Every structure is written in C-alpha cells, then in structure tokens.
Amino acid sequence: MNLYPLKFNPILKERLWGGTKLKDLFGKPSTSEITGESWELSTVKDDISIVSNGELASTSLQELIDKYPVELLGKSVVDRFGTEFPILIKFIDAKQDLSIQVHPNDALAKERHNSFGKTEMWYIMDADPGAELVVGFNKDVSKTDYRQSLTNDTLLELLHHEKVHEGDTFFINTGKIHAIGAGVLLAEIQQTSDITYRVFDFNRKDKEGNLRELHTELALEAIDYKKKDDFKVGYSKKMNSVNTMVDCPYFKTNFLELDKNFTIDTNNRDSFTIYMCVDGRALIENEFGKVSLQKGETTLIAAMSQKIIIDTEGAKLLEVTI
C-alpha cells in the first residue's frame, strides 16, 4: 500500500461571526464573506474529509481508515477508538466574537449524545491589536450566581478576559466556559465531537433575523464553576527541536520551529502524525512520497511510516499524535 503524506480538501463553514482571512491569508477556496472555519481533518458525520493529492485523491478519510486501520492510525489508536478518527483539526477566523459556550466531558456527552466530549487546544496564528479570549471565570461562582447573571445580562462580568498574541497557546478542558474573541485567527485541535452548549450570544440574530438557540439548561451540569488559571500553555521554542506543548489523554501536540532540514524517527510511534503549518513552508516526506505544505495547510502521515523528513528553510509546525 502507498500511504504517502495525505492532504485533504478543506471543509469550509460559514459562521455568523466569520470573515475572509481563511481565503485572504491561506488561500482557502471560499466565496463567502463569513467563512469562520476550515475543517482540515474530519470524520464527523456529513463532514468527512476527502483526499486532494496523489493517486488516492477523491478517497474519503473514513474509507482509508476502514481499509487500512492499523497501517494508517496505529494499533494503539485502533484499540482505543476503533475505526473512528479521534480528533478534529480546524483553522478558525473570528471576525466577530464567538458565543460564550462550554463543552461536556466524555461521560456527559456519551450519556446525552452518544458522542465524545470536546477537549480542545488553540494556537494563536494572528491577532488584531487588543484581541482577546474568554477563558473561565474570574472568581469562584455558584450555580445560582451563574443563573442570576444570565437573568441580569451580567455574565461577562464574571468571566476572565485574556489578551492574546501570535504564538500564544491555550488548553480548553471540558467544563471551561470560553469564547474566541473578534480579530483572532487560530489553529484548533480537538476531540472528534461537534457538541457545543451555547450560553450567551450577545443577543445577535442570524441572517433570517432569528436569535440563535441557547443551551442554558444543558450547560448547567457541564460547567466548572471554579476559577482556574490552568488554560495558558507554556512551552519551549527551541529551534530545530521537538518542543512539547500539550500531552493529554486525547492528543499530544509539539511545536517545531525549523530553519533547516529535520528528520524524525517514527519507527516506535504507534500513531498517525499530523502536521499543521502555522508559518512558512516545508516539504514533508515519508517512505511513500512527499507533499508541500504552506501556512494554513495540513497533512496526515500514516502510522506505518518509519521516518518523516521535513525539508525547509523556515517553517513553524504543530505536530499532533495520539
């Protein structure tokens, strides 16, 4: 089998809060003025990624997993997740503030939606001056305090607002109330799940003039009401090295800033490898082929690969494995 580095057609999502940066900066094939998300790797129902390069072009990611589960994903990944791709990879452009929201944990998501929970991380690729995120509460609150703030329209006063800059990285565990603010462009790595409980949306209306649905009652048991300063990720940026960013049960993410060719021995890596290019460009190669990658593009390397060669004069990459 010839499992060369795979690229996929982006799955573009219009969002009320979206803009044009995914097209303008990354060249995504959007014709909309409100493209908020580019799903780079997905097996979410009705949004399954399709290969765009080489002899496997037009094949779906799910077809490849079903045909080559261990070869593509790795035995340990198949043992844990079967033939379901366990993570969802996105680029997000927030021209306006996203809604204030929360994601359920695995147990709650399984009980209510027969789904995984939604643990995620963000890498800030670009931020307008003054751009910020909402991450958690600014003090411990009770469920009663929280409900009262919704009634009084004072929820924002209870939330922590964090200014952001390029390179900042955040880990958003389940239960943490959060939102991406206007002017932020980021890479997102998350569990395969599309379960979001929207709790406040600034009273905005969609293009039909309707208020978007809120999930007030569903969110009550999902929210962690404690103030926790556990969201910002500190990581090394040593050049030409593999720098650990996040190592959680659902994914592992490393930061690579390279200005010369770099080889990674994956002989004992029982997992697929994903590279998201967050700056510059590189040529990614395994035993079966190579693919060019530029800022805003993603590639999937099969677990059966014995080594990965990165040919570059300058690139910043997020390396994602299980």
Q: pLDDT by residue (tens digit) across 116-167?
A: 899 999 999 999 999 999 999 999 999 999 999 999 999 999 999 999 999 9
pLDDT tens per residue, range 174-199: 999 999 999 999 999 999 988 999 99
pLDDT for res 36: 98
Please give the average per-residue pLDDT across 78-107, as a whole number.
Answer: 96
Q: Using CA atoms, how far apart are residues 99 and 118, in angstroms rounded to an integer? A: 16
Residue 17 has a CB neighbour count (10 Å cut-off) of 21
161 is in an annotated binding site: no
Q: Using CA atoms, how far apart are residues 275 and 284, in angstroms rounded to an integer? A: 9
Do residues 126 and 185 touch, judged by C-beta distance below 8 A? yes
pLDDT for res 209: 86
Reported confidence tier of residue 208, pLDDT bands at 50, 70, 90:
confident
Which residue would you say has higher pLDDT here, 8 or 194? 8
Q: For residue 175, report the phi and psi dihedrals to the nearest 5 degrees.
A: 95, -15
Do residues 86 and 207 touch, judged by C-beta distance below 8 A? no
Tell me the percentage of the chain whose pLDDT exceeds 90.
95
Do residues 202 and 212 touch, judged by C-beta distance below 8 A? no
Do residues 50 and 61 touch, judged by C-beta distance below 8 A? yes
Query: Which candidate in 80, 147, 198, 281 is catalytic?
Result: 198
CA angle (270, 272, 276) in 5-degree steps: 140
212 catalytic? Reply is no
- Measured CA to CA in angstroms, residue 245 lies from 117, 152, 285 at distances of 21, 39, 23
113 is in an annotated binding site: no
Q: Flag whether pLDDT at 1 surpasses 80.
A: no
Please give the average per-residue pLDDT across 74-96, as a whole number.
Answer: 96
103 is in an annotated binding site: yes
* DSSP notation for 194-241: ---EEEE-TT-B-TTSPBPP--HHHHHTT---S-----BPP----BTS
Tell me the percentage of the chain whose pLDDT exceeds 70.
100
Q: Using CA atoms, how far apart are residues 129 and 155, in angstroms rounded to an integer? A: 24
Domains, the chain, in order of start with CATH, read 11-220 (2.60.120.10), 243-321 (2.60.120.10)
Please give the average per-residue pLDDT across 42-51, as a whole number.
Answer: 96
pLDDT for res 85: 96
pLDDT tens per residue, range 255-312: 999 999 999 999 999 999 999 999 999 999 999 999 999 999 999 999 999 999 999 9
Would you give the end-to-end CA distance of the chain in angstroms? 23
Least confident of 3-12, 47-56, 108-117: 108-117
* Mean pLDDT estimate for the chain: 96
Reported confidence tier of residue 78, pLDDT bands at 50, 70, 90:
very high
* DSSP notation for 22-65: HHHTT------S-EEEEEEE-EETTEE-BB-SGGGTT-BHHHHH
pLDDT for res 127: 98
